[in-house]
Amino acid sequence: MQKTFDIVIIGGGTTGLFATYYATMRGLDVLLIESQQRLGGKVMQFFPEKLIYDVGGLPEILGEQLVKQMEEQARRHQPPVVVGQFVTNIDQQEDGFTLTTSTKEKYQAKKVLLATGAGTFHAKRPEEWDALSPQSFKETVPTTLDDLVSYTDKHVVITGNSKVNVSWALYVSKVASEVTIINNQQTFQHITEEEQEALQNAQVNIYKNTKIKDFLIENDTLTGMIIKETSNHVEQTIKADCLITYNGISLQETPFTQWGIVMEKGRINVNACMETNVSGIFAAGDIVQYPGKTMLIATGYTDAMTAINHAHMQINPKAKEQVYSTVIYQTRK
């Protein structure tokens, strides 16, 4: 018979990561499911390279570093973590829930925590790449930044025409041996004068009105590319060890209403215990709405604690609503 988890947490953004840690700290049997291949939600998708200043105890921290530390914390008690599976169905059973994912896996849960944000953001690939090959290579081109250290001493090429591409180029230029932006337009959208100046100071190469004509790949490894200026058709070959693209995003919405969850203006109303209208399904983080709610990382943490504590009390009526971590780890030793 399949195992029943005390709680399945859907969404591995900052809220889901903290909820995973907190629930395992309280001794619950937890499964975390994330639809993307990597954890970190919006922080990793939109601002891994930006400094965050409003998380308690961390005067300033890079987005990617915060997620790294949160992942380490979430894995402290070795909960199973599933990535690359989008939860498509939640079916209520007599004594819990059956969750089904995009890969047709099924998981049993006594309680569910929705830490999904509005859904999953998928990066769009440049349309002009449709004509390029090989397909297998195109599918592996990252659409968000990896660890900064992975770009050390590399020739990094970034394609796109937005402020995001500029921000990434400036970040990566701290460690890369060379950074090149290939912009298929004449300008970058919404770029400030300060960013323009920073690009010049960081000696980022910029090709405008330019597209990739061909990838140069040897032994499955990118070595360079042929680029082409769109107005004069002049071609040249440039060296490249890493390619990253940002071409906008589209949102795959989480099917809350299909799961019986009542939404209002795109957000889930919860009670003071962070429980939704469906008994046993809790929600936390950016997706919830209540008076005074703010859509901030730290608010997601407190939402998660409240939800987990109340789910815990439903599972075990003798459980205390709140136990200090100082006490929990003292008695575990």
Ligand X SMILES: Cc1cc2nc3c(=O)[nH]c(=O)nc-3n(C[C@H](O)[C@H](O)[C@H](O)COP(=O)(O)OP(=O)(O)OC[C@H]3O[C@@H](n4cnc5c(N)ncnc54)[C@H](O)[C@@H]3O)c2cc1C
Output the smallest distance, CB 251 to ligand X, in A. 10
Residue 10 engages ligand X in binding (rule: CB under 6 A) = yes
3-state per-residue secondary structure call for 143-209: CCCCCHHHHCCCEEEEECCEHHHHHHHHHHCCCCCEEEEECCCCCCECCCHHHHHHHHHCCCEEECC
Output the smallest distance, CB 311 to ligand X, in A. 17
Residue 12 engages ligand X in binding (rule: CB under 6 A) = yes
Nearest to 81 by CA among 120, 118, 121, 30: 30
Given 297, 307, 308, 311, the residue binding ligand X (CB under 6 A): 297
Helix/strand number for the chain, H first, E second = 8, 21
Residue 120 engages ligand X in binding (rule: CB under 6 A) = yes
Residue 90 engages ligand X in binding (rule: CB under 6 A) = no
Given 43, 182, 222, 305, the residue binding ligand X (CB under 6 A): 43
Output the smallest distance, CB 162 to ligand X, in A. 13
Residue 48 engages ligand X in binding (rule: CB under 6 A) = no
* C-beta closer to ligand X: residue 80 or 224: 80
Q: Which stretch binds ligand X (CB under 6 A): 205-213, 220-228, 231-239, 290-298?
A: 290-298
294 Cβ contact list (under 8 Å, min separation 6):
none
Given 96, 117, 126, 280, the residue binding ligand X (CB under 6 A): 117
Residue 129 engages ligand X in binding (rule: CB under 6 A) = no
Count residues binding ligand X (CB under 6 A): 33
Output the smallest distance, CB 41 to ligand X, in A. 2
| 42 labelled ligand-binding | yes
Residue 182 engages ligand X in binding (rule: CB under 6 A) = no
Residue 52 engages ligand X in binding (rule: CB under 6 A) = yes
Given 6, 7, 8, 14, the residue binding ligand X (CB under 6 A): 14
Q: Match 């499955």 to its residue by tokens.
A: 220
* C-beta closer to ligand X: residue 16 or 280: 16
Burial bucket for residue 231 (CB in 10 Å: 0-12, 13-18, 19+): exposed
Given 126, 165, 285, 308, the residue binding ligand X (CB under 6 A): 285
Given 123, 198, 217, 295, the residue binding ligand X (CB under 6 A): 295
What is d(CA 192, CA 198) in angstroms, rounded to the nearest whole number?
10
What is d(CA 292, CA 186) in angstroms, rounded to the nearest whole number?
43
Amino acid letter, 257 = T
Please say whether the beta carbons of 95 and 82 come within 8 A. no
| 87 labelled ligand-binding | yes
Residue 233: Cβ within 10 Å count: 8
Residue 30 engages ligand X in binding (rule: CB under 6 A) = no
What is d(CA 166, CA 191) in angstroms, rounded to the nearest whole number?
8
DSSP E strands, 49-148: 51-52, 61-62, 81-83, 87-93, 96-101, 106-114, 119-123
* C-beta closer to ligand X: residue 280 or 300: 300
Given 6, 13, 79, 274, the residue binding ligand X (CB under 6 A): 13
3-state per-residue secondary structure call for 243-259: EEECCCEEEEECCCHHH
Apex 68 CA angle, 66 and 71, nearest 5 = 105
What is d(CA 45, CA 21) in angstroms, rounded to the nearest whole number?
21
What is d(CA 56, CA 69) in angstroms, rounded to the nearest whole number?
14
| 20 labelled ligand-binding | no
Q: Which residues bind ligand X (CB under 6 A)?
A: 10-16, 33-36, 41-43, 46-47, 52, 54, 86-87, 115-117, 119-120, 254, 285-286, 295-298, 300
Bind-site residues for FAD: 15, 34, 42, 47, 87, 121, 286, 326
Task: Provide the annotated binding site.
Answer: 15, 34, 42, 47, 87, 121, 286, 326
